[in-house]
Structure 1
Amino acid sequence: MDFNKVRAIDIHTHAEEPCCGTRDDGYDDFQAGMAAYFKNPAGASGMLPSVQETAAYYRERNIAAVIFPVDAERETGFRRYSNDDVAQICAENDDILIPFASVDPWKGKMAVREARRLVAEYGIKGFKFHPTMQGFFPNDRMAYPLYEAIEEAGAIALFHTGQTGVGSGMPGGMGMRLKFSNPMHVDDVAVDFPDLGIILAHPSFPWQEEALSVAQHKPNVYIDLSGWSPKYFPDILIRYSNTLLKKKMLFGSDWPAITPDRWLADFENAAFRDEVRPLILKENARRLLNL
């Protein structure tokens, strides 16, 4: 990949399709709920893009994409998309895709072993955690051996923060507990693993100021701006993006729930300073990923 030529790096895209043929019970309802929340017709139709289709989409737009599955088998009962499958497809499309992985920290020693293997075999750049979907507080010590392995490998830990579209409007929120995704829980992780690159994913509603405070206070913490259209960003997020945290903010779409076409069009009309835009779109991610 020639990072001088791509026009942006999308730090937050999803490999959504299940790995094992037919979808699990409840998976269609889950995706339909997500589609309604994000107004995403692909999810509603059940025709979510494959990783290969994602690569083609991003290649056509000359945007690099960090892509990952989410391992939440324990909480959701949905079989995960194999990290190996995603990594292999990324290797076939290494001109445009950057591989992350996801390992449920509740898997303990198995999770640590898998993380180390993925980095060694595929050069995985980071790991996605979704505390609400995986049912854990990020500062739970049971996850610390996994963080240690990621830190030792020089990889990144990306944490979902704030409210989630997952389960929104479904009975009981599909069992999703929002409390797990308060970004202040990640502050402990940043203290205990100062050499671990950390990304707080999404505008962290209703804890936006907590996320900004953690990113401002901890040198190893960044924020990605995925999951929301920029036209809905709170004023305080844009203010910090333009000033104190201009080198900590990262472009992310949340593909396929939100497309980069939609995100970038709304970004053009949001109140970001001209000198800050290239930092958000590419340069901050390039530095964090050590590309």
Structure 2
Amino acid sequence: MNLDELTAIDVHTHAEVGRDGRTSLSPALLGASADYFKAHGHRQPTIDETAAYYRERRMAAVVFTVDAEHATGHPAIPNEEIAEDCAAHPDVLIPFASIDPHKGRAGAREARRLVEHYGVRGFKFHPSIQGFAPDDPIAYPLYETIQELGSVALFHTGQTGIGARVRGGGGIRLRYSNPMLVDDVAVDFPDLRIILAHPSFPWQDEALAVATHKEHVHIDLSGWSPKYFPPQLVRYANSLLQDKVLFGSDYPVITPDRWLADFEKLDLKETVRPKILKANAARLLFRENP
């Protein structure tokens, strides 16, 4: 990957469909998400199509799915498949994996194998869908391995459109995605590089507090059009957290084209924009400057 040739790094995109047509979540949960984002009719791109989309825009993208089989009963798209398909496009795609924390030490062994043999650079957690609190010791063997390997742990935070308005929210408990639960993880694993995904409604101030206080905690801006960002998020991104805020779209539900068009209208310092769009992610993911 030639970082100099990239205009941006999108740290939050989804692989929603596998090679065999398997979806990342059940039709009911995906349908609720489509309702929430008014995204009915959007295609679920293959990884090859995602690569072509980002290559055309001279961007790179982090790609992942969610393994929530314990809580949902729905088998995940295999991490190996996603990593292999991303490896066919190393100029634009960065593979992340997702491991259900309920796998315990077996999950930790899987994480090591995925990093060492498949080139995975990080791991996506969605506590509400996976049915666990981030500070639950059940996940600690997995965090320990991710920290040891120097990989990134990306946590969904805040409300989710998945399960919205489904009976009982589809069994999804929003409280598991309070970023304050990740604060304990940052204390117990002080060298673990963490991303708090999304503006963390209704816990935006909590996310800002954790990212300001903990050395290796970052925030990605995915899942919302920038025109809806809370004012305090913009203020911190423009000042105290300018080196720890990352561009993320939530593609394919939100496209980078739409996100970037609204991002241009934010009142940000010109020195801050390139940090958010590329430099911060390049340093976090590759430990070097673009």
Name the aligned partner's letter for residue 16 of structure 2.
E
Q: Does 1:176 align with 2:172?
A: yes
CA-based RMSD: 1.4
Measured against aligned partners, the alpha-carbon deviations of 1:216-266 in whole angstroms (never above 9, x if no partner) come to 000110000001000000000000000101001000001111110110011
Partner of 2:4: 4
Mapping 1:68-79, distance limit 5 Å? 68-79=64-75
Mapping 1:208-223, distance limit 5 Å? 208-223=204-219
- Cα shift at 1:20: 4.5
In 2, the alpha carbon distance for the partners of 1:17 and 1:8 equals 24
In 2, the alpha carbon distance for the partners of 1:21 and 1:110 equals 27
Is the contact made by 2:194 and 2:218 (CA closer than 8 Å) also made in structure 1?
yes
- Cα shift at 1:170: 1.2
In 1, the alpha carbon distance for the partners of 2:123 and 2:244 equals 18
Q: Does 1:35 align with 2:34?
A: yes
In 2, the alpha carbon distance for the partners of 1:42 and 1:48 equals 9
Q: Does 1:245 align with 2:244?
A: no
Is the contact made by 1:112 and 1:145 (CA closer than 8 Å) also made in structure 2?
yes
In 2, the alpha carbon distance for the partners of 1:23 and 1:257 equals 14
In 1, the alpha carbon distance for the partners of 2:83 and 2:183 equals 29
Name the aligned partner's letter for residue 30 of structure 1.
L
Mapping 1:71-110, distance limit 5 Å? 71-110=67-106
In 2, the alpha carbon distance for the partners of 1:217 and 1:91 equals 35
Is the contact made by 1:18 and 1:79 (CA closer than 8 Å) also made in structure 2?
no
Is the contact made by 1:9 and 1:63 (CA closer than 8 Å) also made in structure 2?
yes
In 1, the alpha carbon distance for the partners of 2:18 and 2:172 equals 20
- Cα shift at 1:30: 2.1
- Which of 266, 269, 287 aligns to 2:283? It is 287
Deviates most, 220-229 or 167-176:
167-176
Query: What secondary structure does 1:40 align onto?
Result: coil
Is the contact made by 1:19 and 1:80 (CA closer than 8 Å) also made in structure 2?
no
Measured against aligned partners, the alpha-carbon deviations of 1:28-84 in whole angstroms (never above 9, x if no partner) come to 2322221121122344xxx31111111111111111000011101111122101100
Query: What secondary structure does 1:163 align onto?
Result: coil
Structure 2: unaligned runs, 5 residues or longer? none
Is the contact made by 2:23 and 2:77 (CA closer than 8 Å) also made in structure 1?
no
Deviates most, 10-19 or 102-111:
10-19
Name the aligned partner's letter for residue 52 of structure 1.
D
Residues 65, 23 of structure 1: alpha-carbon distance in 2 compared, 3 angstrom cutoff: closer
Name the aligned partner's letter for residue 183 of structure 2.
D
In 2, the alpha carbon distance for the partners of 1:260 and 1:268 equals 12
In 1, the alpha carbon distance for the partners of 2:107 and 2:20 equals 20
Query: What secondary structure does 1:41 align onto?
Result: coil
Partner of 1:189: 185
Mapping 1:110-125, distance limit 5 Å? 110-125=106-121
Partner of 2:16: 16
- Cα shift at 1:122: 1.4
Identity of aligned residues (%): 61
Q: Does 1:58 align with 2:57?
A: no
Mapping 1:130-279, distance limit 5 Å? 130-279=126-275
Query: What secondary structure does 1:99 align onto?
Result: strand
Is the contact made by 1:225 and 1:251 (CA closer than 8 Å) also made in structure 2?
yes
- Cα shift at 1:18: 4.3
Task: Give the TM-score normalised by structure 2.
Answer: 0.96
Is the contact made by 2:101 and 2:107 (CA closer than 8 Å) also made in structure 1?
yes
Deviates most, 13-22 or 276-285:
13-22
Structure 1: unaligned runs, 5 residues or longer? none
Query: What secondary structure does 2:134 align onto?
Result: coil
Query: What secondary structure does 2:5 align onto?
Result: coil
Query: What secondary structure does 2:4 align onto?
Result: coil
Residues 93, 201 of structure 1: alpha-carbon distance in 2 compared, 3 angstrom cutoff: same
Is the contact made by 1:19 and 1:82 (CA closer than 8 Å) also made in structure 2?
no
